[in-house]
Structure 1
Amino acid sequence: MELLGLLWKKHLMAVIRGSDPEASFQTACVLAEEGIDVIEVSLTGAGALKVISRIGAELGDRVVLGASTVMTRDEAGQARDAGVAFIVTPAMCEGAARGVELGVPTVIGALTPSEVWSASASGAMAVKVFPASVFGPSYVASLRGPFPRVPLIPMGGIEADQMAAYLDAGAVAVGIGSPLIGDAADGGDLAGLRERARRFRRALPYGEALP
């Protein structure tokens, strides 16, 4: 299944940003075990490219793996070479343009209507609405009015009990970082991560959604 179709079905992207490479890898393993299998690793985390390569090598097709916080042309190329299935950027930056050039499905960050349009017109597979928590689900619904064909993925500060509201507002999926990951990727409690993963999964309206 192509990535956008998978996101319509899964509704959730997990974002790992860790200070401990081993803990970041173990975090990905726990998420995969709990059925959260669309995972992005932020390049601002420690040893991120090596973490990506290890997840790809050891988890294989159990996960759909991306790189996030991709800012530069070099980072986009390095992420592609590490074997990612997609790239996520926080803004319309050189990394976004290079990801599109390389043919890697690219989720480009935006907030304002002008930025959403620019990201979509630049070849984004989907637009990351960030930081989503600043304006909430109603803002996503408002963006859907002028941009009904632009897939939107809100990210930033979304809690488990808020996911359904974002999806009801028309989001393809939601991206979840610290509310899900907690301190696990910094060497924290993996049992706590497992409990949060189950809570987030229970809060999702599973079943394939249609665009």
Structure 2
Amino acid sequence: MKKLQITQQMVREGVVAVLRGETPEEVVEMAKQSIAGGIKVIEVTMTVPFALRAIEQLAKEYSSSAPADSDKYAIIGVGTALDPETARAAILSGAEFVVGPSLNPATVTLCNRYRIPVLPGCMTIQEIQHALELGVDIVKLFPGNLFSPAMIKAVKGPLPQANIMPTGGVSLSNLGEWIKAGAVAVGIGSDLTSEAVKTGDYSLVAKKAAQYIEAYKAAKA
């Protein structure tokens, strides 16, 4: 049931913060600010040096089982998981979902074994169909900036059962278009954190996160 619950929570929240940084401490601060701003789904990418430290620290402080209105409520996951070894290490560190840049069948099998939601990156109908056959519940359309929201309608012609989350290139200006086109959620990357990194003021992450949540709610309404 936990896999189903996490998947439903991710869809309900609708916005995933995809966090990259130079240190685990920096990413933890980004995550805290994102959560404070209203983005409750946090993806710590494995490109972060010692990323598992950040996942472990965040998993100890936040929980998907906490009340949704609690300041301790968040869903912590791992991104850029290239293989099942990485996925398993992240799961043992507390990751509750796994995201990859591409479709790696062995990673999907590993996540299914431990009942962990897995969101592989796909670009083609063939890859999306393969992901569905492997038991994937949500497919990450990546890189999203290579497509327009019309891609979702095109995919859902032959594959209406596919749940799609675009990541890469999603911004405040086009988030609404993606949601209205049928995206079940969106992944937000550098646009969320770039200004904060440039200025050193990480409170800007919380402000940008709040803007994304506002845009998401407006699109859903």
Name the TM-score, length of structure 2 as normaliser: 0.87
Counterparts in 2 of 1:206 and 1:7: CA distance versus 1, 3 Å: farther
Q: How does 1:133-148 map to 2 (within 5 A)?
A: 133-148=145-160
Equivalent in 37, 42, 46 of residue 43 of structure 1: 46
- Give the equivalent residue in structure 2 for 1:33: 36
Structure 1 consecutive aligned stretches of length 4 or more whose deviation exceeds 6 Å: none
In the alignment, the residues of structure 2 paired with residue 177 and residue 125 of structure 1 have an alpha-carbon distance, to the nearest angstrom, of 22
Q: Which amino acid aligns with 2:47?
A: T
Equivalent in 6, 10, 22 of residue 7 of structure 1: 10
Q: Which amino acid aligns with 1:65?
A: I
Question: Is the CA contact 1:108–1:127 (under 8 Å) kept in the aligned structure 2?
Answer: yes
- Give the equivalent residue in structure 2 for 1:54: 57
Q: Which amino acid aligns with 1:102?
A: Y
Does residue 21 of the first structure (1) align with residue 24 of the second (2)?
A: yes
- Aligned to 2:77, the other structure's residue is in SS state strand
In the alignment, the residues of structure 2 paired with residue 187 and residue 173 of structure 1 have an alpha-carbon distance, to the nearest angstrom, of 29
Structure 2 residues without counterparts, runs of 5 or longer: 67-72
Does residue 72 of the first structure (1) align with residue 83 of the second (2)?
A: yes
RMSD: 2.1
Mean Cα displacement is larger for which, 67-76 or 6-15?
A: 6-15
In the alignment, the residues of structure 2 paired with residue 86 and residue 8 of structure 1 have an alpha-carbon distance, to the nearest angstrom, of 13
Deviations 1:153-185 (A, max 9, x none): 111111112111111111100011111122646
Q: Which amino acid aligns with 2:36?
A: E
Q: Which amino acid aligns with 1:146?
A: P
- Give the equivalent residue in structure 1 for 2:208: 196
Counterparts in 2 of 1:7 and 1:206: CA distance versus 1, 3 Å: farther
Of structures 1 and 2, the one with the larger relative CO (CA 8 A, separation 6+) is 1
Q: How does 1:157-176 map to 2 (within 5 A)?
A: 157-176=169-188
Deviations 1:102-151 (A, max 9, x none): 32111111010000101111111210000111111011221111111111
Counterparts in 2 of 1:154 and 1:58: CA distance versus 1, 3 Å: same
Q: Which amino acid aligns with 1:188?
A: G
- Give the equivalent residue in structure 2 for 1:96: 108
In the alignment, the residues of structure 1 paired with residue 113 and residue 7 of structure 2 have an alpha-carbon distance, to the nearest angstrom, of 18
In the alignment, the residues of structure 2 paired with residue 10 and residue 85 of structure 1 have an alpha-carbon distance, to the nearest angstrom, of 15
Percent of matched pairs sharing the same residue: 29
Does residue 111 of the first structure (1) align with residue 123 of the second (2)?
A: yes
Does residue 81 of the first structure (1) align with residue 84 of the second (2)?
A: no
Question: Is the CA contact 2:20–2:48 (under 8 Å) kept in the aligned structure 1?
Answer: yes
- Give the equivalent residue in structure 1 for 2:164: 152
Alignment: residue pair count: 209
- Give the equivalent residue in structure 1 for 2:217: 205
Structure 1 residues without counterparts, runs of 5 or longer: none
Name the TM-score, length of structure 1 as normaliser: 0.91
